[in-house]
Amino acid sequence: MGSKDGMNYAPKGKINRVVEPGQFNVGVTALDHGHINGMTNGLIEAGATIKYVYDPDAEKVANYLESFPDVMVAESLEQILEDPEINLVAAAAVPNLRSALGNRVMRAGKDYFTDKTGFTTLEQLEETKRIVAETGKKYWVYFSERLHVEGAVFAGQLIEEGRIGRVIQVTGFGPHRLDKAKRPDWFFKKEQYGGILADIGSHQIEQFLHYTGNTDAEVLHSKVGNYNNPDTPELEDYGDATLVGDNGATFIFKVDWFTPDGLGTWGDGRTFITGTEGTIEIRKYINVATEQTGDHLFLVTKDGEEHYSLTGEVGFPFFGEMILDCINRTENAMTQEHIFKAQELCLKAQEQALNITAKL
């Protein structure tokens, strides 16, 4: 079962080391979101050595060391950036600070791995594109709702094998538990978190591009609103959008902060994929009122119906592929263009969204 606390949900998978100890060294910094623990788990399982951790908040560092006690505490970010052994810097900063940190990391000669969303404005995205071009470094984004979910990984493998034909439609649901009292101040300030479609919507759009094989898409319309949190008026607790890809595949998704307390995990994330020869449903984190485990995939083709329970069966190949891409300067895990396009589209969806709060 997934954790009831989505902020600190940190999946663990199979050990599948692609490098020897000390061959790929990582510095961890900016511990503002609990996703840094999942990012760290994935890197360690793929063989990375976490050499340093640094954050100006000693309490955050102490919490990180509870999970990763062997990591050395750096005295400053400069210590990480100036160490020639460091290949990659992983970080989960406040969202509107992620791109500036990444730019600094890449200018120091390191690749960068940030929690999603990697950007809160289109201007940030354009600046980072320039710096990637100038430095030749990689700007990775942790799209965990595909990369760190075995059902979602397996769905991609089935599509690649042609099991459901050509994908023509994807529908995504990304509900999250608010846990309002536990959230930091930045979570409620739109300039800092970027808006719901830029933030948790980024997962959804990345999945659409991946499953449909699109390199571009158009945002047809999008909506955001604050239905139930008038005391934090800048929080968007609901958002949805509709897109159409260049190859004609369509996408509808909904994200919100309305997961009831009674659900056994932090959100009933689901993805529905329609192909010309079959359908897939992924129940990512729970099978409601049936099984408390996640990673359920339901496949229907001309041959019949299949239910896969995938926890511990597939693993998380992204992390090893990412490490090898950093070493070999390849693009097998995902392309830089794909990352930037997913981010561009979620920012456009956010920018042009109709705000329905005024109608309430």
Section 71-90 average pLDDT: 98
Give me the pLDDT at residue 10, please: 67
Give me the pLDDT at residue 14, please: 78
Residue 360 banded pLDDT, cuts 50, 70, 90: confident
Among 340, 360, 124, CA closest to 224: 360
Asked if residue 2 is part of any domain, the answer here is: no
pLDDT tens string 178-193? 999 999 999 999 999 9
Q: What string of DSSP letters covers 255-281?
A: EES---TTSSSS---EEEEEETTEEEE
Residue type, 297: L
Per the listing, tokens 């079959």 go with 278
DSSP H or E run through 345: helix 336-351
Say what percent of the chain tops pLDDT 90: 95
CA 353 to centroid of chain Cα atoms: 21
Residues 96 and 161 in one domain: no
Residues 140 and 228 in one domain: no
Residue type, 273: I
Predicted structure pTM score: 0.96
pLDDT tens string 129-167? 999 999 999 999 999 999 999 999 999 999 999 999 999
Give me the pLDDT at residue 1, please: 40
The number of distinct structural domains making up the chain is 2
Virtual CA dihedral for 43, 184, 240, 333, nearest 10 degrees?
-10
pLDDT tens string 299-332? 999 999 999 999 999 999 999 999 999 999 999 9
Residues 114 and 245 in one domain: no
List the CATH number of the domain containing 213. 3.30.360.10
Say what percent of the chain tops pLDDT 70: 98
Residue type, 168: I
Asked if residue 342 is part of any domain, the answer here is: no
